[in-house]
């Protein structure tokens, strides 16, 4: 199977990755003989967020994109279960276990950049490359704001959980495709350009059975009220100190405020403790990788070639999947 993105063909295979509650869906682009880069999307988005960037990345490495639980075409979690950032950290570990990876390379955006920051601090020995788009730390809230946040999210989650039951009995409101594109454009505060909204929208909607020319949002509404891994500046600073000797590239969108002065301490710690840390700014919004993939790729390609280069003698990158699987089995036998 091949796909056509921005005029460039890149082979892929669609797959399901087993999880304790069922599965998540993935799409593996390119080389399947070596461990790929695991691509993780942002909040309320899906793997379509990488459509314009993937054709521009080095072809010696595959890219495994996933739809996180509740997003895109991945199934929803069972009713009564809340979405939490820690669960998404566990998804990374479960994918590694499924493919018997001893280490993982991650390409992340937004919410997943927060998740990957946590993962890097907890499992730096199992991470060999991290690329974060437009977020570099966990979110901070003062105690009173955090209490209000938790209360409101619980109440709204319960409403959405009840709606999930109703959705099995009646179809949600439907809209024309043009209306949905506009809704998404405004919903991202115009971070995703209107011409690029379809890349994400396509996996978030389902065709109406009542109205032949309309669609409805089919992602899990409960995801809107997922629980973040919220920290304080001292906590985030300590997390950053745990990340050493991990190739770590952060790209900020110039028009975005997701990386601001509150991120300075974490960035300085990463710079001082990690000789492989890079920070770059590229013209664009929070979805800079989707709207301006050429400039993002111009930074990422040298970084990827430096830290996961192709082997000159045979074109194979680092260890083959068989070699990595053998390492993983050996590590497990010691547990």
Residues taking part in catalysis:
110
Strands 2-5 and 8-19: antiparallel
Interatomic CA distance for residues 89 and 86, integer angstroms: 5
Question: In the chain, what is the straight-line distance between the N-terminal and C-terminal CA atoms, in Å?
Answer: 39
Neighbours of 333 (CB within 10 A): 7
Pick from 100, 96, 136: which is nearest to 116 by CA?
A: 136
Interatomic CA distance for residues 127 and 275, integer angstroms: 15
Q: How far is CA 279 from the centre of its chain?
A: 19
Stretch (H or E) spanning 240? helix 233-241
Question: DSSP labels for 250-292?
Answer: EEEETT--SS-GGGHHHHHHHHHH-TTEEEEEESS-TTHHHH-
Torsion of CA 71, 75, 81, 82, to 10 degrees: 0
Yes or no: say if 181 and 188 are a contact pair by the CB < 8 Å rule: no
- The tokens describing 335, both together, are 């547990």
Yes or no: say if 108 and 40 are a contact pair by the CB < 8 Å rule: yes
């Amino acid at each position: 199977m091949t796909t056509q993105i921005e005029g460039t063909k890149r082979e892929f295979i669609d797959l399901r990755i087993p999880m304790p509650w069922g599965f998540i869906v993935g799409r593996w682009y390119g080389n399947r003989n070596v461990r790929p880069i695991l691509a993780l999307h942002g909040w309320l988005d899906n793997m379509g967020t990488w459509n314009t960037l993937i054709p521009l990345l080095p072809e010696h490495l595959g890219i495994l994109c996933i739809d996180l639980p509740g997003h895109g075409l991945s199934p929803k979690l069972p009713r009564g279960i809340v979405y939490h950032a820690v669960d998404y950290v566990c998804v990374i570990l479960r994918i590694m276990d499924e493919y018997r990876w001893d280490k993982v390379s991650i390409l992340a955006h937004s919410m997943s950049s927060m998740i990957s920051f946590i993962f890097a601090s907890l499992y730096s020995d199992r991470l060999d490359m991290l690329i974060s788009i437009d977020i570099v730390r966990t979110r901070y809230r003062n105690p009173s704001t955090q209490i209000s946040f938790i209360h409101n999210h619980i109440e709204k989650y319960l409403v959405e959980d009840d709606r999930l039951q109703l959705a099995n009995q009646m179809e949600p409101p439907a809209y024309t495709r043009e209306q949905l594109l506009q809704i998404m454009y405004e919903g991202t505060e115009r971070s995703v350009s209107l011409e690029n909204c379809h890349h994400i929208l396509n996996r978030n909607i389902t065709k109406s059975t009542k109205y032949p020319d309309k669609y409805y949002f089919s992602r899990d509404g409960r995801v809107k009220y997922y629980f973040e891994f919220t920290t304080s500046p001292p906590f985030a600073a300590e997390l950053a100190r745990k990340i050493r000797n991990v190739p770590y590239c952060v790209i900020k969108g110039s028009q975005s405020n997701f990386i601001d002065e509150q991120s300075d301490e974490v960035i300085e710690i990463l710079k001082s403790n990690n000789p492989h840390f890079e920070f770059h700014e590229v013209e664009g919004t929070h979805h800079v990788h989707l709207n301006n993939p050429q400039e993002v790729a111009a930074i990422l390609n040298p970084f990827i070639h430096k830290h996961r280069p192709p082997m000159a003698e045979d074109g194979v990158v680092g260890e083959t999947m068989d070699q990595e699987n053998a390492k993983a089995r050996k590590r497990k036998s010691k547990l």
